Amino acid sequence: MLAILDGTVTDAAQAQIPATDDGFLRGDGVFEVMRLYGGRLFALDDHLTRLGRSAANLRLPIDLDAVRADVETLVERNDVQDAAMRVVVTRGGHRLAIVEELKPLPDTLALATIEYAPTRVLDQVKSLSYGANMLARRLAQEQGADDALLVTPHGRVLEGPTTTFVCSLDGETLVTPPLSEHILDSITRRHLFEVVEVTEQVLARDDLARVREAFMASTLREVHPVRTIDGAALPSAPGALTQDAAGRIRAHIEQELGVSA
């Protein structure tokens, strides 16, 4: 796999950022993860816009034109058709983009609720400080689940560590927590709203017992059906609404890129 560091293309294993960079020492930096379909990046402009917003909120200097040039150069040099691309900008002033293999995923997900309190000062910042998210996933896996569903100490349902949570309580309509709950403004969430009717609704932990079907959405997963929450099996996985959402988002991606995803 290839990487590009500060404009120079290299083997990903050889890309090196100084150990003194606060991006490494303190997680002080921002990142995005994009997906390649047929060698083309989906939603590049959306991801770069969010990267710039994250950097501004973190008071991190960033040259988005240079980041775009790095990404475009890496896409031209890359020969892996279907992959992920991670873009990182650090406090030390380094730009890094890496092509990564897509990891295998289970057909459906088992979720475990994990208590989590969003850090208000990092609202709408996709920062390198992802320790809490990764710990939440590990805690869920220790309970035998595939991933975590983050819930506040007051019982408000949020999102997954790296995904948006969407569910149906009545089997007819889809709902998802609003951004006012301090969840990430997901790129996939935005595109879902363009092709599927989804309503923002505050969800409580007690509502989870009424979920008829659910899925987690993200750049790398697209629409990923949920089969259980805290050990309780959902009536259908994937449900009809989930299957429809999966088909619509895939068709949307193919139309945007002009490729068969």
Question: What is the predicted pLDDT for the residue at 54?
Answer: 97
CB–CB of 33/133 below 8 Å?
A: no
Q: What is the full per-residue pLDDT of the chain (261 aa) written as tens digits?
A: 999 999 999 999 999 999 999 999 999 999 999 999 999 999 999 999 999 999 999 999 999 999 999 999 999 999 999 999 999 999 999 999 999 999 999 999 999 999 999 888 988 899 999 999 999 999 999 999 999 999 999 999 999 999 999 999 999 999 999 999 999 999 999 999 999 999 999 999 999 999 999 999 999 999 999 999 999 999 999 999 999 999 999 999 999 998 776
Cβ neighbours of residue 175 under 8 Å, at least 6 residues apart?
A: 166, 167, 168, 169, 198, 199, 200, 201, 203
Within 58-130, residue ranges assigned H as helices are: 64-77
pLDDT value of residue 259: 79
Helix (H, G, I), strand (E, B) or coil at 2: strand
- How far, in Å, CA of 195 to CA of 248, rounded? 6
246 in Cβ contact with 238 (< 8 Å) = yes
pLDDT at 260: 75
Instruction: Supply the pLDDT for residue 261.
Output: 64
